[in-house]
């Protein structure tokens, strides 16, 4: 695994960076020794796909632990395999080597314990109302009966602030509202882990900021474990409690960062911008 560190909210001279990294790595190693088994364990996972010309390796021997209640972010440039990795966690793609386990059980295919929210707005069924979209997976999987599914759909629509729109159809919603419905639908299944693949990438800047804030409020309110993919350093610092930095193609874990010190209110601050610059160097400086 790459270096594991926490970026201090106070400015750290670049000359002290390695010492700070070593200190944090030792602290984290000690904490890990006492920690419970991870909810999600990714062990030595390499992923490949075939292009017309050749076989392409998307990720190389990834090792990641995600614990209950984490907001874990996969951060890296385009082509580093982060979306491929989250699809493998979802069970859509089998690793070429290594293993993925959830609650100690090997992931061998899709399941209701892992629900994905994608970035596309058209992931809702256009002929169903908002409420019917949220209830549909519960009914299709026979998780709940109709009455219980309707009640749970109403509950999670209220959590994302869309109760007044329960009976409208997706084409009547804005992009941000459609993503709220997708999040409500995912959480209604009460998965062991929520997977979000650049869910706000297609939104305008103001709506994206609002959705990041609402996601954090929802995490505080409902309580869930999150695996989140982004190529935005700022979004990773805002959304994540832990961040894995993936190197350019093929993706390897270059470093793992504890990022509890920052949130939506930290944007624009001196320490936030300094942290973003250091992450940029870790991602792209070939000396690391």
Residue-wise pLDDT tens digits, 138-149 = 999 999 999 999
Q: Which of 1-15, 151-165, 262-276 has the highest mean pLDDT?
A: 151-165
CA distance 264 to 102: 30
Percent of the chain with pLDDT over 90: 58
- Quick one: which of 229, 248, 205 has its CA closest to 85? 229
Examine the domain organization and report whether 177 and 244 are in the same domain: no
What pLDDT is stored for residue 248 in this prediction? 84
- Quick one: which of 122, 73, 108 has its CA closest to 260? 73
String of DSSP letters for 238-285: HH-SEEEEEPSSSB-EEEEEE-TT--GGGTT-HHHHHHHHHHHHHHH-
Structure tokens at 190: 């009460």
Which residue range(s) make up the domain with 140?
119-190
- Of the chain, the end-to-end C-alpha distance in Å amounts to 13
Residue of higher predicted confidence among 26 and 141: 141
Read off the pLDDT of each residue in 70-94 and give the average, rounded to a whole number.
93
Task: Give tens-digit pLDDT for 192-236.
Answer: 999 999 999 888 888 889 999 999 999 998 889 999 999 999 999
CA distance 273 to 242: 17
Q: How many domains does the chain have?
A: 2
Examine the domain organization and report whether 78 and 13 are in the same domain: yes
Examine the domain organization and report whether 84 and 203 are in the same domain: yes
What pLDDT is stored for residue 14 in this prediction? 38
Examine the domain organization and report whether 109 and 8 are in the same domain: yes
CA distance 108 to 193: 16
Among 57-61, 120-124, 148-152, 174-178, the least confident range: 120-124
Examine the domain organization and report whether 155 and 22 are in the same domain: no
């Amino acid at each position: 695994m790459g270096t594991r560190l926490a970026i201090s909210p106070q400015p750290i001279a670049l000359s002290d960076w390695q010492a700070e990294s070593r200190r944090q790595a030792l602290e984290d190693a000690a904490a890990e020794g006492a920690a419970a088994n991870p909810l999600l364990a990714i062990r030595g996972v390499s992923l490949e796909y075939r292009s017309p010309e050749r076989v392409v390796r998307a990720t190389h021997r990834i090792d990641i632990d995600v614990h209950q209640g984490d907001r874990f972010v996969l951060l890296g440039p385009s082509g580093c395999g982060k979306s491929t990795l989250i699809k493998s966690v979802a069970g859509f793609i089998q690793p070429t080597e290594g293993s993925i386990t959830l609650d100690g059980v090997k992931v061998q295919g899709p399941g209701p314990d892992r629900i994905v929210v994608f970035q596309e707005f058209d992931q809702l069924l256009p002929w169903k109302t908002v409420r019917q979209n949220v209830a549909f997976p519960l009914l299709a999987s026979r998780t709940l009966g109709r009455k219980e599914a309707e009640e749970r759909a109403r509950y999670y629509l209220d959590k994302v602030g869309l109760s007044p729109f329960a009976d409208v159809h997706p084409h009547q919603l804005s992009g941000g509202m459609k993503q709220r419905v997708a999040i409500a639908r995912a959480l209604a299944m009460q998965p062991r882990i929520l997977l979000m693949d650049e869910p706000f990438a297609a939104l305008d800047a103001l709506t994206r900021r609002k959705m990041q804030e609402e996601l954090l409020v929802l995490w505080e309110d409902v309580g869930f474990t999150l695996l989140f993919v982004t190529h935005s350093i700022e979004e990773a610092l805002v959304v994540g409690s832990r961040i894995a930095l993936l190197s350019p193609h093929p993706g390897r874990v270059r470093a793992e960062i504890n990022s509890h010190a920052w949130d939506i209110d930290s944007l624009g601050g001196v320490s936030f911008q300094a942290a973003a610059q250091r992450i940029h160097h870790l991602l792209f400086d070939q000396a690391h």
